[in-house]
Amino acid sequence: MDKISFVTEDGTTVEFFVEEQTCIAGKNYLLVSDSLDEEANAYIMRDISDPDSTDACYEMVEDDSELAAVSKVFQSLLEDADLEF
């Protein structure tokens, strides 16, 4: 499983495990977790980088309707997983 690092607005580095990724309506999304444990916290992140950029820039999805829609896609991709957002 891939592990990626993110730098927060305050400069702190946070590492997440990439569980799955998908593209919806031209937007890239990652499903990440904070550990490999069964009780890990899962988050959905959206790529907000410029299409011409070589570096990706992600932010947490916080809009309830977007979160619900994207979580359904991830749940269908990971049929065996019990996901709660």
Q: Which residues contact 34 (CB under 8 A, 6 or more apart)?
A: 16, 17, 40, 41, 43
pTM for the model stands at: 0.84
Q: Where are the domains of the chain?
A: 3-77
Average pLDDT (58-62) is 94
With a pLDDT cut of 70, the percent of the chain lying above it is 93
